[in-house]
Amino acid sequence: MELPAYLVENKKRSALIGVVALLCIFAIWGLLSRSSSDKIEHPDGYTFVCQNPSCRNQFKVSSARIEELRTKPSAPPLHCPKCGQTNVVQAGASDRRAAGAR
């Protein structure tokens, strides 16, 4: 019960404490809400290639979907929109990496 009485008596100090608390909240919010570098480096998303020899479809996947795949283990895998297979790799990936993804 002494703290409210102290704050009422020292209004300048109370205002200073409030301003510092707000600045800390805004600083933490600013640090946590920065956009990821993926969105900056790949604004249109990522290009994936279907590994089905008869399909070889290239398609875009959004950065948000890639982030979902990275963070949620229960997220459904990527499917080729043309043939429906899940054997897809990012465009430019080496054949060795593509073989390891199977």
Strands of 33-99, DSSP E: 46-50, 58-61, 88-90
CB 87 within 8 A of CB 101: yes
pLDDT tens digits, one per residue of 28-53: 887 776 555 555 666 788 899 999 99
Instruction: Tell which phi-psi region holds residue 39, choosing left (phi > 0), alpha (psi between -120 and 50) or beta.
Output: alpha
Structure tokens at 67: 């982030």
pLDDT tens digits, one per residue of 57-77: 999 998 888 888 888 888 888
- Written as one letter, the residue type at 26 is F
Mean pLDDT, range 67-92, rounded to an integer: 88
Mean pLDDT of the chain: 80
Cα–Cα distances (Å) from 40 to 3, 37, 82, in that order, read 47, 5, 28
